[in-house]
Amino acid sequence: MTTPAIGTDPRLRAALRRLDLNIVHRLEGLLHGEHLGLRLGPGSEAAEARLYQPGEDDVRRMDWAVTARTDTPHVRDLVADRELESWTLLDLSPSMDFGTGLRSKRDVAVGAMVAANLLTQKVGDRFGAHFLHHGRIRRWPARSGKEALLALLATVAAAPTGDERAPSADRATLADALTDLVRTRRRRGLRVVVSDFLDTPAFGGEIGWERPLRQLASRHQVLVVEVVDPRELDLPEVGDVTMRDPRSGRVRDVRLTKAVRERYRRAAADQRTAVRDALRRCGVHHLLLRTDRDWVLDTARFVIHQRRTAHHLARHTPGSPR
C-alpha cells in the first residue's frame, strides 16, 4: 500500500478530521492516557504494596500508610511509565466491504481502529498496523502523533475494494496474519484485532485463527473487535435473489424460501457462537459492533463497562490500594 499525500487532497483530509473529532468529542476521557508500564522498574506509578524485606528493599519506598494500618513494615513497588506500543491488525478482505446498515463493515472497522489509537495514546506512544488485504499481509510502521494517524487513515482509504484479482491457494488468511503479528511484534503492548471472522466454520471443526490469537494474548493485552452486518445474521423474505461471493466473485441465484432462511439463520447463529466461544477461550476482550447501530455509542458503553469491571476487581484484590 502506498500512502497518498493527504495534504494535497483537502476533501480526504477534511473527512479524516471529522472522523477524528467525532470520536474524540464523544469518547475522550474514557481511555486516554490510562495505561501503565508492563514491567516493574524506576518510575512514578505506584504498584501494589508488599512486605518489607530487610537488607533487600530501599527504606525510601516504605509505604507508611499501609505500615501504620497493619503494624507491619510494607514497601510499595513502582511501575515504570514507559511508552505504549500498540499494533492493530485490520482485516480488509472483500467481505469487509459489505454493508446493508448505515455504513459498510470497513467503515466501522476503520472507525474502531481510530478510536483505539486515539484513546490509548500519550506523548511518545507509537502505533502501527498490519493489513490483511486481497490475500496479502501488508505492514504500516509504528509512528506517533495525529499526523501519523491521518497518514494511516489515508493509506486505508486508498486501499482498493472489491473482489480479489486472482484468488489462489497460497492467499493469506486471518490465521496467517495473526501469526505474522505474533512473530514480528515482540515488544509487549496493546494489540487490536478488527475482523468479521467470516472464515470461522459454522458447523464445527478447527478454528484456524484461535491458536495464534491465544499466543498473541499470552504476551499482550488484546482487544478483538468483531464487525457484523444484520444481513449476515438473517435474510428478509424477498423471494429470488442473486448472491455474489465477495472473495471469488462467483454469482448464484437463490430462492429464499422459509426453510432456506431458517437454515441460514441457524448457521449464522452457530457461527457467531463459535466465534464468541473461541474468543473467550483465548482470554481476550471482545467488542461486537454492527453496521446498523451507532458504533461510537457501543464503543463508549464497552469502555465504561471495562473501566467499572477493572475498578471492581481492584477494590477486591488483596493488597491493592483502596
C-alpha grid cell for residue 5?
Answer: 499525500
Task: Kindly list the structural domains of the chain, giving each domain's residue range(s) and its CATH number in brackets, ordered by start.
Answer: 6-30+84-314 (3.40.50.410), 42-79 (no CATH)
Task: Give, for all 322 residues of the chain, the pLDDT tens digit.
Answer: 444 433 344 554 555 455 554 554 444 444 444 444 433 344 444 556 788 888 777 888 888 988 998 889 988 766 544 567 889 999 999 889 988 878 899 999 998 998 888 777 665 678 899 999 988 999 998 888 878 888 888 888 888 876 655 555 678 999 999 999 999 998 888 899 999 999 888 777 789 999 999 999 998 989 999 999 999 999 888 888 888 877 777 888 888 889 999 999 999 999 999 999 999 999 999 999 999 998 888 888 887 777 777 666 656 555 554 4
pLDDT attached to residue 3: 40
Beta bridge partners of 91: 132
Q: What is the pTM of this model?
A: 0.74
pLDDT attached to residue 114: 86
C-alpha grid cell for residue 41?
Answer: 522498574
C-alpha grid cell for residue 210?
Answer: 484461535
Residue identified by cell 509504528 is 142
pLDDT attached to residue 274: 94
pLDDT attached to residue 246: 73
